[in-house]
Structure 1
Amino acid sequence: MTALDPFTDALDCPLYVVTATAAGERAGCLVGFASQCSIRPARFIVWLSKANRTYRVAARADRLAVHLLGHDQDHLARLFGGATGDMTDKFTRTAWHPGPGGVPVLDEAPVWVVGRVQSRFDGGDHCGFLLAPEAAQHPGGDGVRLMFLKDGPDISPGHPAD
């Protein structure tokens, strides 16, 4: 237990799937650490575990796609959170299309943003990727019910969390 645990235990953050492509490799993983971090200019930061294959691909990528999952998309959360790209080609198991710069955009994700990587920050066991948004999709209205950490499925991670 750390001094931060009582604070973070109170949070209920959205679950994200982050995808990347570099040098012909595709990767994607489930992420819980991400946030808008600037209004002008618009910026979003996503934190990737250094243990993940997605981090290794993202470290060479120009862009990342960040997807919000619908409340009922357990199958995508399990695929991108419970399988490691070291052993599974996740993109043969779900529909996707190339977004800006070829980054994989998941067809089923109701809300997503593609951003150009502006900077990378060492945060300990995670690396922060500061993104400048280039393209986004949101269906509009209040009809999208998102998946949050506390209502996400129980998933054994493809790689240890720490």
Structure 2
Amino acid sequence: MTEIDPRELRDAFGAFMTGVTVVTSHDVDGAPLGFTANSFSSVSLDPPLVLVCLANSSRNYDSLSNADGFAVNILAETQKDVSNTFARPVEDRFASVDWQRGPHGSPVFDGVSAWFDCSMFKTVDAGDHLILIGKVEAFENSPYPGLGYARGAYVTPAAEAEALSNSANLKVSALIEHQGKVLLADDGNGRLILPEIKVGKDGATAALRRLIDASGTDAEPGFIYSVYEDEARETQHISFLCQASGDTATQGAFTDLSPSTLMDIADPVVCTMLERFAGENRMGNFGVYYGNQVSGKVRPMTSGS
């Protein structure tokens, strides 16, 4: 078993804590089992612990309460069908997914945003649920944006973007991150900027995709990180937090957000946003800003404590 890198684990926690998950394990005969859940949270980085909640009425209760471990699969935005399958009483749920045994033995899925393979650390009775606390033995994440769920409906980056695409003067920027560094470009005057593009008739999702393609990174469209009105310029801005799996770019370079770097940011609003990102990234706990270029509110994205 490879040693867990706390920084990489923290980044994975911060990026995916709001996603829809499928919790998997196996029964006493070794057959795979799993169920859809959105009650996943980080508990500790040292040791690396996560928790999920299991209803006492679950048909998997006996197997999971006595299991030696479990895995948490954070579904990608294209995996609504997987979520639906594992939320229903389907006889062979695993027939519809590509999966393999993780390093600790629980089933992990292909094409997910992330997975965490855990040994069982502790179980806690909590009313009509059992809290399963697992120690992360291995994990893997990808740049694929996660699938969210709110108010009885799935939420994806594309849906969020189009819901905000009514402005006639809308700009999209990409906060593309890799291991704490952010892709920044030169504005031609010796100052630094985020990749940015004006939204056309094809909408914000298509504009973001063009922006990422032009950057030459392997990033995937991510979730909205900041929405604000620049009242002085009569424009609306949406910034997306996107993850790249590598540090290659054809436009700009991945840069540490040091104080000297932040001093070189051309737009004061973007500088403030990047200062916030630097702090949140250290803690692995992100929020979404809503407001204007002067003031607003940050709403937490994660469901952890």
Q: Is TM more than 0.5 here?
A: yes
TM-score, normalised via structure 2 length: 0.42
Gaps of 5+ in 2: 1-16, 156-305
Counterparts of 1:24-103 in structure 2, within 5 Å, are 24=29, 25-81=31-87, 83-84=88-89, 88-103=91-106
Deviation (angstroms), 1:29: 0.4
How do 1:1-162 and structure 2 match up within 5 A? 13-24=18-29, 25-81=31-87, 83-84=88-89, 88-139=91-142, 143-150=143-150, 151-152=153-154
1:27–1:53 contact (8 Å) kept in structure 2: no
**Larger helix proportion, structure 1 or 2?**
2
Shift of 1:103: 1.4
Deviations 1:85-115 (A, max 9, x none): xx51111222111113431111232310011
CA contact (8 A) 2:104 2:118 kept: no
Per-residue CA distance 1:32-70 (angstroms, 9 max, x = gap)? 112101122111111111222233221121110001011
CA distance in 2, matches of 1:56, 1:95: 25
Moved more, 88-97 or 49-58: 49-58
Corresponding residue pairs, total: 136
Once residues 32 and 85 of structure 2 are traced to their aligned partners in structure 1, the CA distance between those partners, rounded to angstroms, is 14
Distance 2:103 2:56 in 1: 24
2:48–2:136 contact (8 Å) kept in structure 1: yes
Residues of 1 paired with 2:144 and 2:112: CA distance? 10
Structure 2 residue aligned with 1:160: none
- Equivalent-residue separation in structure 2 for 1:90 and 1:96 (angstroms): 11
SS at match of 1:19: strand
Higher relative contact order, structure no. (Cα contacts within 8 Å, ≥ 6 residues apart): 1
RMSD: 1.9
Residue 146 of structure 2 aligns to which amino acid in structure 1? L
1: distance between equivalents of 2:58 and 2:112?
Answer: 21
SS of corresponding position for 1:51:
coil
Query: Which AA in structure 2 matches 1:114?
Result: D
Runs of 4+ in structure 1 over 2 Å off: 53-56
TM-score normalised per structure 1: 0.76
Q: Which structure is larger by alpha-carbon Rg, 1 or 2? A: 2
Percent identical: 25
